[in-house]
Amino acid sequence: MRVEMDYVEIIFVLGALLFFGTDLLMMALTLKDLKDGKVKASWSSMGVVRKGLVVGLIVVMVVFIYWLATDSILAA
């Protein structure tokens, strides 16, 4: 029977929404503020920690894409 599997999928989706939901909400609010002109997003107005987080995110994404291209089942 698939009844047990449906519960696992529902719990997984709810967990993913809980995990990513706050990030999506904050992204939507930030985009709304940027569109309204309330926030000035520039490199010079960022703090040191925020600059480090942005650079770290870029590095992690580049390494992740490299890993997908070379060591995973997606590699040709």
Considering the domain architecture, whether residues 36 and 59 belong to the same structural domain is answered as no
Task: Indicate whether 58 pLDDT > 80.
Answer: yes
CB neighbours (10 Å) of residue 66? 10
pLDDT band at 50 (very low <50, low <70, confident <90, very high): confident
Considering the domain architecture, whether residues 33 and 62 belong to the same structural domain is answered as no
Question: Which residues constitute the domain of residue 64?
Answer: 42-76
> In this structure, are residues 59 and 51 in contact, taking their beta carbons and an 8 Å threshold?
no
In this predicted structure, what is the pLDDT of residue 72?
A: 63
Considering the domain architecture, whether residues 52 and 64 belong to the same structural domain is answered as yes
Considering the domain architecture, whether residues 32 and 46 belong to the same structural domain is answered as no
Entry pTM: 0.43
pLDDT band at 39 (very low <50, low <70, confident <90, very high): low
Considering the domain architecture, whether residues 24 and 2 belong to the same structural domain is answered as yes
Query: 15 vs 2, 8, 21, 29, CA distance in Å?
Result: 20, 10, 9, 22
Number of domains in the chain: 2
